[in-house]
Every structure is written in structure tokens, then in C-alpha cells.
A and B are shown apart, each in its own frame.
Chain A
Amino acid sequence: EAQVTQNPRYLITVTGKKLTVTCSQNMNHEYMSWYRQDPGLGLRQIYYSMNVEVTDKGDVPEGYKVSRKEKRNFPLILESPSPNQTSLYFCASSLGTESYEQYFGPGTRLTVT
């Protein structure tokens, strides 16, 4: 089954404790992206990657890191999480060349206390 998976689905952590949210897709998509969703602000792009070893900042990259060492994986890293990073995070992927029809993961709800 074609899908985008994220782990964990729910995470409660404390300020400053490094964490990684994994994202994996099995569709051989070149394009992958991370978003955060907050009430009233909609979906905002954090980082995106057009292919292996090619990443770039989205609209809200501060406080986040990503890497794309393999085509299928695109982890999101929070080196020192802060409460303002409490949010619902989505990973997405698409073929990326002619269409940005994206397949979204189920989301990761992160709470930073």
C-alpha cells in the first residue's frame, strides 16, 4: 500500500531535549516536505527536499533541521525544542517533477512543556 508513515504519532517532551520525528514513504517520490499546523495559521512549510541530499528552507525553518540521506526517509530534528514548537506536524511526499499532488502522513502531535 502506498503510504507516508510518521513516528511517533504523539510525543510529549520537555524543553531542550533533542528529538527526531521520522518520516518514510514507499512510493519512490523525489519530493518530500515537512509542515506544521497551528490553529488559525493553517499549514506552514518547514523544510522541503527535492531529492537525496537536496534540502531547502520553507517558510518557518527556525529551530528545525532535516536530512535526506535516502530517498525514502526525511527525518525532522528538533535540537532544542521549545514550547512554541508545540504543534501538529505533517510529512508529505510527491513525485515533484510536474505535480505537487502530495501524499500526507497521519501527523505527529508534539507537546513541549
Chain B
Amino acid sequence: SQELEQSPQSLIVQEGKNLTINCTSSKTLYGLYWYKQKYGEGLIFLMMLQKGGEEKSHEKITAKLDEKKQQSSLHITASQPSHAGIYLCGADPGSYGKLTFGQGTILTVHP
């Protein structure tokens, strides 16, 4: 089965700093999804990437899927306390219905 490894597992930054979260897959990614979760709450969809080399941005968050489609990165520019939460990557394995998620990265942003 497909496995997703996220790094780092947790991250503490000062407000205004840039940061990157990585998601590495054990198999080729047919679709890669980034979600954000506030502690104890549901997940909110951020972005979906499908093509190798694809890059998408939403406000100060940019996500990219590498050419070989086995790794994705999520970059936050000029972080703010509102960016704090748990970021999860999820993969569409190309087979019927089974989705896999990484273990999540806990982001803390100090004002």
C-alpha cells in the first residue's frame, strides 16, 4: 500500500518567517491533496496537485508536486499565527477509493 511520510513532524516558527513542509510518497502520486486542520476540528481542503511540476498558490501558501510525482512541498511565506495548525497531505493512489494520508505536521507560529 502507498505510504506518505511528512517532514518535519512539528515546526515552531516566529511570525513573519517562511517555512516548508514536505510530503514524500512511497509510490507515484496520481493526485496529492493538502489539508489544514485546527486542533480537534475537521480538515479544510487547501489544494490539489495532479501533474508533475504543477504548482498552485492560495494567499501565502504555495504547493508543488515534483516532476517524478513522488514528493510534494507546501511553502508558507511570511507566516502568521492564523497559519498555525496541523497540515496533512493526502494521496489518491490511482486505485478505487482508498486514500492515504501522511501523519501530519504540527505548525506553531509565535507572534
Q: Which residues of A contact B (CB under 8 A)?
A: 4, 31, 33, 35, 40-45, 48, 50, 56, 58-59, 88, 90, 92, 96, 99-107, 109
Contact = CB atoms under 8 A, between A and B. Distances in A.
Interface residues of B, number: 23
A100 B45 contact: no
Given A48-B97, A106-B41, A101 B1 contact: no
A43 B104 contact: yes
B97 A103 contact: no
B101 A43 contact: yes
Nearest to B4: A42
A59 B88 contact: no
B104 A31 contact: no
Contacts of B98: 45, 48, 56, 58-59
Contacts of B35: 104
Contact of B101 (A4, A42, A107): A42
